[in-house]
Amino acid sequence: MKKLILMLLIAVSPMMAFSLFDEKGTDKEYLHLVSSIKDVAISTQKTRGLTNSFMNGNVAAQLLVYAQREQMMKDFEEINRLSSKSKLPENYSKESAALMKKLKKLNRKAFKKNPAEVFASYTSVIEQWIALNGKIIDSHFKAGNGDTYMAVSMLNNTLLPLTENIGKLRGMGSGIVARGTCNDIETPKMRSFATNIEQYRNQMKTYLDKHSYKSLSKSDLDAGNAKIAAYTKLTEENVIGKEEIHLDANKFFDQGTACIGGVLKVYNAVSGDI
């Protein structure tokens, strides 16, 4: 009898070890998941901005809103796929599903609401995505390699908030440009976005001064920083607090998108080297 029990233990032990080892996804799988949540935050930023631009008079933005919503649905599918592949804990999967539900509902009702309310609602969900990503990063990477954890945290806590503040400046600003005047309530908000952009840009510089990445050159960084500085300057001089604005809303939006593209180039370079 004892011999039989011993044989059973020997047979089952490897299976138990495999099960314990396999219950959580790899660093690469989690990194892909973190990046997919970044993608949905970026597509939501763009949806918010185009929606605000359209609702303030930029009729040409309407078709772009619908196209961006479709992209958001594709991003949802990718998050669901990677959540399953990485064996994301159920509590985080439920939180992710709830945020997707919120965005689908907001997309359906956005054009029927006040533009400022819609802008704030999209912003709230973006902040919740970034917070969820932070929790996922802490749960998986914090106990592992310190350099990896620092790098992944920088992606979510510096680069993604940098894109978010550029996105706010772009989104609210394109609505202001479409309307042709900046309201009193928008002036301090726009100034706050510009201040935050500079803060996160400095944090990015501080990090990159200490770390180098093979697919990120100094000229790439200089070009990206120059675009952001020029965009902020344009906004401060021609949009914030102005009663008469003579800019093209679509061009203003595209300039902001180019700035975000530069930040995403940094994101991809860092992520690719982890």
* pLDDT tens column, 26-82: 999 999 999 999 999 999 999 999 999 999 999 999 999 999 999 999 999 999 999
**What pLDDT shows up at residue 164?**
98
Per-residue pLDDT for 136 more than 80? yes
Give the closest residue to 193 by CA, choosing from 130, 235, 251. Answer: 235
Give the closest residue to 29 by CA, choosing from 77, 72, 88, 70. Answer: 88
Distance CA 175, CA 115 (A): 9
Residue 1 — very low, low, confident or very high, per pLDDT cuts 50/70/90?
low
Contacting residues for 172 by C-beta, under 8 A, at least 6 apart: 49, 52, 119, 186, 189, 190, 193
Residues 225-255: tens digit of each pLDDT: 999 999 999 999 999 999 999 999 999 999 9
Tokens read off for 164: 């978010």
pTM of the model: 0.90
Distance CA 128, CA 43 (A): 14
- Show me where the domains of the chain are located: 26-273
Per-residue pLDDT for 6 more than 50? no
Give, in degrees to the nearest 5, the angle at Cα 118 between 160 and 225. 30
Stronger pLDDT, 33 or 5, i.e. the higher one: 33
Which DSSP string do the residues of 10-41 spell out, in sequence order?
A: HHHHHHHHHHHHTTS--HHHHHHHHHHHHHHH
